[in-house]
Amino acid sequence: MARTSPGKNLVAAFERTRVEGVISASASRHAVTTITSTEWRQINRVTNTPQAAVNNGVIVKLGAGSVWTVTGTSYLTKLVVDADATVQGPTGRTLTLTVDGTATALTPGATYTGALTLTPA
């Protein structure tokens, strides 16, 4: 797969890989609102909640032979699916893709850009 400059985006690129889980933009919140020298141990206590991308994009590139099983709602700005790659929901569940709010079929060999939401149902 060709390498591209990620800029300020998160780019997750896979070749011949099985991935299971959520890949998403998120909102990050610390456990406390203000971290001072007294609360220095709180700096690594962060909760990430999936949400649509606001400032930076999330780009997922599934190369040849890759399979992504989406287990929870994932928000992306670009999805590239090789002709020999698969994006699916967990066993027994369907997967819905919306692009800018419009339901869209997932097709191997396609590239999707915009406000993408992948939701297993």
C-alpha–C-alpha distance, residues 110 and 79, integer Å: 8
- Reported as a single tens digit per residue, the pLDDT across 4-30 is 455 688 899 999 999 999 999 887 777
Tell me the pLDDT of the chain (121 aa) as tens digits: 344 455 688 899 999 999 999 999 887 777 777 877 887 777 777 777 788 888 889 999 999 999 999 999 999 999 999 999 999 999 999 999 999 999 999 999 999 999 999 999 9
Report yes or no: 95 and 89 within 8 Å, Cβ to Cβ. yes
Q: Report the b/e string of 2-16 with b at 16+ CB within 10 A.
A: eeeeeeebbebbbee
